[in-house]
């Protein structure tokens, strides 16, 4: 297909990407899948939309620099101390297992040792962007398994940084042979660069950004130019554009403006990375996909099954319940955009061929597509797998929290959901002499509740077995103040699971559930709810009473 100009080619690719993005939205797939598919369709083997690849490659390189700039921007020098033992152990354990086992699998598939080493390391990275987005859609980021997952994703990000540095070191080593810019320039440039960045962080970063931030639009331009400038200088020195972008982010990570920069650049990053994934897809030869299909299936099954199992094993050994380990493990059942960038760096250093990138891209398409549905339907998958994963749970008091049976007596009022609505209900109950026992799936909310001197514990409303563990003989009311979950995102509504579980456990008291009048309220009543709490409708009725506008 011929176009009159490069502008027309880019316009056609963007239109195709938007179309496939809409299709992916209906299929609940991340945009990465749609963008790689755009490159495959627009590539020379199918529609041939991209006759001039140079602009796409240039924009993709800028996108990678911005991505790594944002990674560097989030790096906190004290972050390892704040991760917690479970995040560090799970993250490092999963990375080590995947790298070692993946290396052996790649060798068994007939790949050479260097290619096997690259691919096995690339398989260790999971997509923070995709996982956080899916957990946010399901409102599970603040759950225990969500917090643990985000913790070991940070560990993986640190491993990415180390891997990038190692690759750059390998690039310096190859430059000694005479193919690169020369060892002297590399060493001198690296030393001067590190020294300059250190001095800038200490004396110049905060004052400079304080002036730039006076004009928000300038802050975006400055951050983008800063990332690209560092990438260009690093490329000139010979340590790679990727490491330059990362170092640019680190140089601004200690400032009070890093969150503002990150929020303003995130959309631009996503747009520019579109071209990176399009270039990847366009570089895949559809004629050779058949040859790589067996290897991609084997590696995809390894990621989809092996990664969750090792996470479950580590968390089970550390004393977590099998359900918590299962839900956290599902989040690492895919590779990430960093996997593709890592392999692309290997190609730029001359260590790999394009076939390795095509293989990893194919594994990415399969694992990202499948794992998205695994995370979306995690509760259903757990119910299927529960009878077979008992070996991943130790027969000890689990770390999720002490059982309610440890309290002196059953509470008169049990309150699920310690957010703003639930906390306000507790305050009013307290003014009337009641002392509710609070339960929430967010460990931090439980900590705040307990620090206020109130009894409470961790508990997941979507766990169908949880209500049966509660001693409810003396409980009069159970109040479920959990926010309703959009049914389009998940078929597992914690309010319904909890209400049905309480009735199935023989609870004879009254149940009040937060809901919305209409079909939602009818579902809750059929599940066993006695009272429907509608915060907005109740507040509106009370407001009218306060205004004195009620007709007698």
What are the chain's domains? 6-391 (1.20.1530.20), 404-547 (3.40.50.720)
Average pLDDT over residues 247-261: 79
- Model pLDDT for residues 427-470, shown as the tens digit of each residue: 888 888 888 888 887 777 888 888 888 888 877 777 777 787 77
Least confident stretch, 19-33, 129-143, 207-221: 129-143
- Helices in 284-406 by DSSP H: which ranges? 289-301, 307-317, 322-329, 337-348, 354-376, 378-385
Q: Report pTM.
A: 0.72
- The answer to whether 127 and 340 are in contact (CB under 8 A) is no
Q: Which residue has the higher pLDDT, 97 or 270?
A: 97
Task: With a cut of 80, say whether residue 185 has pLDDT above it.
Answer: no
Long-range contacts of residues 348-356, Cβ cutoff 8 Å, at least 24 apart = 348/240, 349/167, 349/170, 349/171, 349/174, 350/174, 350/179, 351/114, 351/118, 351/170, 352/114, 352/115, 352/118, 353/115, 354/283, 355/288, 355/292, 356/111, 356/115, 356/118, 356/119
**Percentage of residues in the chain having pLDDT higher than 70:** 85
Q: Which residue has the higher pLDDT, 288 or 504?
A: 504
SS3 content of the chain, % helix, strand, coil (to 5): 70, 5, 25
Task: With a cut of 70, say whether residue 408 has pLDDT above it.
Answer: no
Task: With a cut of 60, say whether residue 266 has pLDDT above it.
Answer: yes
Angle in degrees, CA 50, 51, 55, rounded to 5: 70
Task: With a cut of 60, say whether residue 506 has pLDDT above it.
Answer: yes
Q: Which residue has the higher pLDDT, 23 or 545?
A: 23
* pLDDT of the residue at 305: 92
- The answer to whether 357 and 337 are in contact (CB under 8 A) is no
* pLDDT of the residue at 1: 57
* pLDDT of the residue at 489: 41
Average pLDDT over residues 515-524: 85
* pLDDT of the residue at 199: 76
134: tokens are 């899916």
Average pLDDT over residues 179-195: 60
- Model pLDDT for residues 198-245, shown as the tens digit of each residue: 777 777 778 888 788 777 778 888 888 888 888 888 877 766 677 788
Task: With a cut of 60, say whether residue 513 has pLDDT above it.
Answer: yes
- The answer to whether 316 and 308 are in contact (CB under 8 A) is no
The pLDDT mean for the chain works out to: 79
Q: Which helix (H) or strand (E) holds 157?
A: helix 144-174
Least confident stretch, 90-104, 177-191, 510-524: 177-191
* pLDDT of the residue at 301: 93
Average pLDDT over residues 340-360: 83
- The answer to whether 440 and 448 are in contact (CB under 8 A) is no
DSSP 196-258: HHHHIIIIIHHHHHHHHTTSHHHHHHHHHHHHHHHHHHHHHHTS-HHHHHHHHHHHHTTSTTH
* pLDDT of the residue at 43: 77
DSSP 480: E
- Model pLDDT for residues 55-92, shown as the tens digit of each residue: 778 888 888 888 888 877 776 555 545 556 677 788 88
User: Distance of CA 438 to CAs 31, 34, 411, 459, 484, Å?
Assistant: 39, 43, 10, 9, 18
Task: With a cut of 60, say whether residue 407 has pLDDT above it.
Answer: no
Task: With a cut of 60, say whether residue 180 has pLDDT above it.
Answer: no
Report how far residue 397's alpha carbon sits from residue 155's, in angstroms, rounded to the nearest whole number: 27
User: Which residues does 186 contact at the CB level (< 8 Å), separation at least 6?
Assistant: 172, 175, 180, 237, 238, 239
* pLDDT of the residue at 303: 93
Of 433, 530, 412, 429, nearest to 475 by C-alpha is 412
Report how far residue 296's alpha carbon sits from residue 369's, in angstroms, rounded to the nearest whole number: 14
């Amino acid at each position: 297909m011929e176009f009159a100009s490069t502008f027309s080619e880019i316009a056609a690719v963007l239109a195709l990407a938007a179309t496939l993005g809409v299709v992916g939205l209906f299929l609940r797939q991340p945009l990465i899948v749609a963008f790689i598919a755009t490159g495959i369709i627009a590539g020379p083997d199918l529609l041939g939309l991209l006759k001039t690849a140079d602009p796409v490659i240039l924009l993709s390189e800028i996108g990678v620099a911005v991505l790594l700039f944002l990674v560097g921007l989030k790096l906190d020098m004290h972050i390892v101390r704040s991760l917690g033992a479970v995040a560090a152990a799970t993250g490092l354990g999963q990375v080590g297992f995947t790298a070692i086992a993946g290396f052996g699998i790649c060798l068994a598939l007939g790949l050479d040792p260097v290619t096997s080493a690259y691919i096995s390391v690339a398989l260790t990275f999971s997509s923070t962007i995709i996982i956080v987005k899916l957990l946010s859609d399901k409102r599970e980021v603040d759950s225990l398994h969500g917090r643990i997952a985000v913790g070991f994703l940070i560990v993986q990000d640190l491993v990415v940084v180390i891997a990038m540095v190692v690759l750059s070191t390998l690039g310096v080593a190859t430059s000694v042979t005479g193919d690169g810019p020369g060892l002297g320039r590399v060493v001198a440039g690296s030393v001067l660069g590190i020294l300059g960045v250190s001095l800038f962080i200490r004396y110049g970063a905060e004052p400079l950004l304080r002036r730039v931030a006076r004009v928000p639009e300038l802050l975006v331009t400055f951050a983008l130019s800063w990332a690209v400038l560092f990438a260009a200088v690093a490329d000139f020195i010979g340590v790679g554009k990727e490491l330059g972008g990362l170092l640019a982010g680190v140089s601004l990570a200690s400032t009070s403006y890093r969150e503002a920069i990150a929020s303003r650049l995130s959309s631009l990053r996503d747009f520019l990375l579109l071209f990176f994934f399009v270039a990847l897809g366009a570089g895949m030869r559809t004629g050779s996909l058949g040859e790589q299909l067996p290897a991609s299936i084997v590696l995809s099954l390894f990621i989809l099954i092996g990664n969750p199992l090792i996470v479950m094993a580590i968390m089970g050994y550390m004393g977590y319940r099998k359900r918590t380990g299962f839900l956290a493990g599902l989040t690492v059942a895919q590779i990430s955009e960093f996997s593709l960038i890592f392999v692309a760096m290997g190609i730029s250093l001359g260590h790999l061929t394009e076939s390795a990138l095509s293989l990893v891209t194919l594994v990415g398409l399969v694992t990202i597509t499948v794992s998205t549905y695994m995370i979306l339907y995690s509760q259903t998958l757990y119910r299927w797998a529960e009878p077979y994963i008992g070996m991943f749970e130790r027969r000890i008091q689990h770390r999720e929290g002490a059982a309610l049976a440890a309290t002196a007596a059953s509470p008169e009022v049990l309150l699920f959901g310690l957010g703003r609505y639930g906390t306000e209900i507790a305050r009013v109950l307290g003014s009337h002499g009641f002392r509710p026992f609070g339960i929430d799936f967010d460990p931090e909310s439980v900590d705040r509740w307990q620090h206020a001197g109130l009894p409470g514990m961790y508990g997941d409303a979507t766990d169908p077995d949880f209500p049966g563990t509660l001693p409810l003989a003396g409980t009069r009311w159970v109040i479920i103040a959990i926010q309703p979950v959009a049914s389009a995102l998940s078929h597992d509504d914690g309010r319904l699971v909890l209400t049905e579980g309480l009735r199935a456990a023989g609870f004879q008291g009254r149940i009040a559930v937060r809901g919305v009048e209409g079909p939602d309220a009818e579902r809750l009543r059929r599940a066993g709810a006695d009272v429907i709490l509608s915060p907005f409708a109740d507040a509106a009725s009370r407001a009218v009473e306060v205004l004195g506008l009620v007709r007698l």
